[in-house]
Structure 1
């Protein structure tokens, strides 16, 4: 009796499968009520110890948006140089839509996180995992609403913190581009561009002990393997 109906279940799996990290946007503004719904979806995410470590900064100043774009462009060049033989291929990729998107947000880890011990004593990075869950909620909600979202991680966290006056013990994790799009990519953009391809799930799942992708122990459907 706790199960959703078939149409609702299908919708969940559909939005997961069709979520895309978008880079191409239309400049049209978003309805404030729509932005509120997407942010509320983020705020409904699970969090370690219910600490709710996400903080959102909405960027409405055009000059600030351009300064953020400059930070990303600087890191884009540095990343390209670090990639060595793939530098030229990387530089041909579109990696952000900061100047084009209808809404620009920065998501950061809260300050004073050390006060939260529940679930973080041995895995302090669980606060970061919690923020990632919030961002995924946003992504799925945005896709269901028919708007694109792109997660930009090419920036120096300290430089962005200084620009936005983020406290020293907080940390920006994402620049999020949200907005209307002409169309969603039929497959992930980096797959379409030949940068990488999705791995086989069965190469990434093992049973009881660690196995790498070349010696995965699962050679039959996951549901077909059970303890005796």
Structure 2
């Protein structure tokens, strides 16, 4: 342990929020989030690391009910196409609840900014580090939301071109996530996809090797 470590209680809280974070789909309808809480979550996201300090993230808060319904329609259309692509698991997939767009208290769309191509530092050989940086921001928000007792779900089944057009994004910008945020009935003790018997997480030991790929 170093002089820079947090206290044991503080460390337990950090590891607990990581362990209890869940990708939420079920939200409590008709609820609201105080503006100051949303501000804290956005600040947590903005504090994320980014390659070359490029800060490629952009957050669009969706407050128009009609626009929210149009976003839901885009997601539902892709949901049907995803089911068709799954073949024999189509019906099983359609039975899953995969988003809470119409019920969540807050809806955000996270996008890559249209000015990121000017950033070379850290991206010359790995240009996808802009997406990695945005993912760090989303994870920061996810953990902060769980610490606040709020659920968050990352919706990724949508056509990015059509969503970008719907939100009048400039050329070069790219939506990467629809985030559902708000109070939830409860937090399950394991991932929803495990509870629904869609798939199961694998142990850490399968993902760690030493010196070479195993």
TM-score (normalised: structure 1): 0.92
Higher relative contact order (CA 8 A, sep 6+): 2
Count of aligned residue pairs for this structure pair: 211
| CA deviation string 1:15-49 (max 9, x = no partner) | 00000000000130100000000000000000000
Structure 1 runs (4+) deviating above 2 angstroms are: none
Aligned counterpart, 1:20: 22
Secondary structure in structure 2 of the residue aligned to 1:108: strand
Which deviates the most, 70-79 or 194-203? 194-203
Considering only aligned residues, what root-mean-square deviation do their CA atoms show, in Å? Answer: 0.6
Secondary structure in structure 1 of the residue aligned to 2:185: coil
Distance 1:203 1:121 in 2: 31
| CA deviation string 1:108-161 (max 9, x = no partner) | 000021110000000000000000000000000000000000000010000000
Rg larger in structure: 1
Secondary structure in structure 2 of the residue aligned to 1:93: coil
Distance 2:78 2:124 in 1: 33
Distance 2:109 2:144 in 1: 17
Once the two structures are superposed, the pairs formed by residues 130-141 of structure 1 within 5 Å of their partners are 130-141=133-144
Once the two structures are superposed, the pairs formed by residues 36-185 of structure 1 within 5 Å of their partners are 36-185=39-188
Shift of 1:57: 0.2
Distance 2:129 2:86 in 1: 29
Shift of 1:172: 0.2
Secondary structure in structure 1 of the residue aligned to 2:126: coil
Q: Does 1:209 align with 2:207?
A: no
Shift of 1:69: 0.3
| CA deviation string 1:197-221 (max 9, x = no partner) | 110111111111111xxxxxxxxxx
Shift of 1:100: 0.2
TM-score (normalised: structure 2): 0.98
Unaligned runs of 5+ in 1: 212-228
